[in-house]
């Protein structure tokens, strides 16, 4: 059974205690060692070259790839196909450094199958591509340049150097009906406040949130939350480097279709989840679905701040750690955590601190009921902008793997699943894809 029930019926303090902000030192002591060493965790090959010359940046039109060895008539099922990619600039000159973000796929159009290729950066302008041959029949290699190394340099600068690239709105309401709207964010400097700020601290996880203090209402009058604005963080040259004509573009085909033999057959069970209308704001939830045949109940809710959503009641925002602390767990409980997309607009330390609290909550859940199955869903492909690039998603997934290292958890690699499909990327995959992901996942939990 897969379920995420409401917290147990025991008293828990209000989720967000309000107070005037007083500066506190950053506490890294609770972070796993893997998350404190951000230099090692977030290593990316150096992105050298002339940062001001657009023509010296990597071009999808002149970069090339070919088979590493001689072409074969047939390839054996279960073996690997390898290729060499040479990155070139807009003048056709080979690059002498790495740091580009390429994505490779092996597609079987007849079977509607696909698998992502591993891209190994040799840090000298060449890349080794490797594809597992997992099905029989014709297959075709496709390679795309997601971002040049020059764009990666921009993303690194913004991600690590800016406090936030978005802001949020906080809605306050007094007992007499007076209303005010202010800017909120992950730290007081990002609220735009000229005076005091309101600080909100989750009593379970310790997570902090800040809003500019309203001019006439107290901090505890906060009742609503929503997305705000995207902040201007790029230069004109940055935007030229990230233009659509050179972002997420295919490389000219360099490998003829291949044939893999022999054939293999597989199948998958289906589960029929029926949604239940709870009459809530859909983006923030909570949502619910049931399968009465198998006795399965699925509960979903969004994480707390910094959630980008339409206006939603603050009382509906529950931190992940808070919900986990209210779960009894057990052999019939499966917890699925999907995190990352809403943290690409903040420096890595923000996500590291959030994950530290969630890790402790997961560890406590597994300590009190080891038979609970906890699954971490990695972030999928999606945006190609400075606010939510695939490069940022790769870093988020590194965080997720490191944060739960050493714990008895499973991973669903949504990045691999979405990067293997012959469909356009979408940060919110279409209903059919999501349904297939969930049903495949459930078919392995409840195989009969």
- Please identify which residue in the block is written with the tokens 């931190």: 319
How many Å apart are CA 151 and CA 132, to the nearest integer?
Answer: 29
CA distances from 417 to 114, 268, 434, 437, 444 (A): 9, 16, 11, 9, 16
pLDDT in tens, 317-349: 888 999 999 999 999 999 999 988 899 999 998
How many Å apart are CA 71 and CA 412, to the nearest integer?
Answer: 34
CATH class of 54-155+237-261: mainly beta
CATH 3.30.70 fits 268-445, yes or no: no
Which of the four pLDDT bands, split at 50, 70 and 90, describes residue 227? very high
Q: How many residues does the chain have?
A: 448
pLDDT in tens, 350-405: 999 899 899 999 999 999 999 999 999 999 998 899 999 999 999 999 999 999 98
Predicted local distance difference test score (pLDDT) of residue 81: 95
What the block records as the tokens of 1 is: 């059974």
What the block records as the tokens of 355 is: 């994950």
Dihedrals φ, ψ of 115, to 5°? -145, 140
Predicted local distance difference test score (pLDDT) of residue 42: 86
236-247 b/e (C-beta count within 10 Å ≥ 16 → b): eebeebbeeebb
- Please identify which residue in the block is written with the tokens 């490389």: 251
Helical pair 390-403 and 149-161, crossing angle rounded to 10 deg: 60
Predicted local distance difference test score (pLDDT) of residue 22: 40
Predicted local distance difference test score (pLDDT) of residue 27: 42
For residues 106 and 117, the answer to whether their CB atoms sit within 8 Å is yes
Q: In 10 A of CB 306, how many CB atoms?
A: 22
Dihedrals φ, ψ of 193, to 5°? -70, 135
How many Å apart are CA 183 and CA 227, to the nearest integer?
Answer: 10
pLDDT in tens, 45-96: 998 877 789 999 999 999 999 999 998 888 999 999 999 999 999 999 999 9
For residues 233 and 159, the answer to whether their CB atoms sit within 8 Å is no
How many Å apart are CA 154 and CA 151, to the nearest integer?
Answer: 5
How does the average pLDDT of the chain come out, rounded? 85
Which of the pair, 278 or 74, is modelled with greater confidence?
Answer: 74
Contacts of 404 (CB under 8 A, 6+ apart): 359, 362, 376
Predicted local distance difference test score (pLDDT) of residue 446: 65
All structural domains of the chain with their residue ranges: 17-29+162-230, 54-155+237-261, 268-445
Predicted local distance difference test score (pLDDT) of residue 443: 64
Which candidate, 185, 213, 222, 202, places its Cα nearest to that of 342? 185
| Pairing state between β 222-230 and 126-132 | unpaired
Predicted local distance difference test score (pLDDT) of residue 25: 37
How many Å apart are CA 314 and CA 333, to the nearest integer?
Answer: 27
How many Å apart are CA 404 and CA 361, to the nearest integer?
Answer: 11
Range of lowest pLDDT (63-67, 179-183, 285-289) = 285-289
Predicted local distance difference test score (pLDDT) of residue 8: 31
pTM of the full structure: 0.85
For residues 34 and 355, the answer to whether their CB atoms sit within 8 Å is no
Predicted local distance difference test score (pLDDT) of residue 18: 59
The pLDDT > 90 percentage for the chain reads 55
Residue 238 DSSP class:
H
pLDDT in tens, 230-274: 999 999 999 999 999 999 999 998 788 878 865 444 444 555 678
């Amino acid at each position: 059974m897969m379920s995420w029930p409401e917290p147990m019926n025991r008293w828990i303090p209000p989720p967000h205690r309000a107070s005037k902000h007083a500066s506190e030192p950053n506490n890294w002591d609770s972070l796993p060692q893997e998350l404190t060493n951000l230099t090692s965790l977030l290593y990316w090959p150096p992105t050298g070259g002339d940062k001001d010359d657009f023509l010296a940046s990597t071009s999808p039109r002149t970069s090339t790839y070919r088979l590493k060895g001689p072409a074969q008539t047939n390839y054996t099922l279960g073996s690997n196909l390898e290729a060499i990619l040479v990155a070139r600039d807009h003048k056709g000159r080979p690059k002498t450094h790495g740091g580009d973000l390429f994505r490779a796929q092996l597609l079987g159009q007849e079977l509607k199958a696909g698998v992502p290729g591993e891209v190994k950066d040799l840090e000298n302008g060449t890349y080794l591509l490797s594809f597992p041959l997992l099905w029989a029949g014709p297959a075709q290699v496709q390679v795309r340049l997601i971002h040049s190394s020059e764009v990666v340099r921009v993303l690194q600068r913004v991600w690590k150097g800016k406090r936030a690239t978005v802001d949020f709105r906080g809605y306050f309401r007094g007992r007499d009906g007076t209303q005010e709207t202010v800017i909120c964010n992950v730290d007081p400097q990002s609220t735009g406040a000229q005076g005091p700020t309101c600080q909100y601290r989750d009593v379970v996880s310790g997570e902090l949130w800040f809003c500019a203090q309203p001019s006439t209402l107290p901090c505890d009058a906060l009742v609503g939350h929503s997305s705000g604005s995207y902040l201007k963080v790029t230069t004109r040259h940055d935007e030229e480097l990230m233009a659509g004509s050179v972002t997420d573009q295919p490389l000219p085909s360099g490998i003829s279709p291949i044939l893999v033999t022999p054939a293999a057959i597989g199948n998958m069970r289906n589960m029929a989840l029926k949604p239940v209308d709870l009459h809530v704001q859909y983006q923030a939830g909570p949502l619910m679905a049931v399968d009465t045949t198998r006795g399965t109940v699925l509960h979903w809710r969004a994480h707390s701040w910094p959630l980008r959503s339409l206006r939603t009641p603050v009382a509906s925002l529950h931190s992940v750690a808070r919900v986990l602390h209210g779960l009894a767990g057990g052999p019939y409980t499966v917890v699925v955590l999907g995190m990352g997309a809403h943290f690409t607009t903040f420096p890595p330390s923000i996500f590291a601190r959030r994950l530290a609290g969630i890790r402790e909550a997961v560890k406590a859940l597994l300590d009190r009921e080891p038979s609970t199955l906890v699954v971490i869903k990695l972030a999928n492909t999606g945006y190609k902008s400075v606010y939510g690039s695939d490069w940022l998603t790769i870093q988020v997934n590194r965080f997720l793997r490191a944060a739960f290292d050493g714990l008895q958890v499973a991973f669903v690699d949504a990045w691999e699943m979405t990067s293997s499909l012959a469909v356009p990327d979408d940060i919110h995959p279409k209903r059919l894809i999501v349904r297939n992901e969930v049903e495949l996942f459930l078919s392995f939990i409840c195989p009969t």
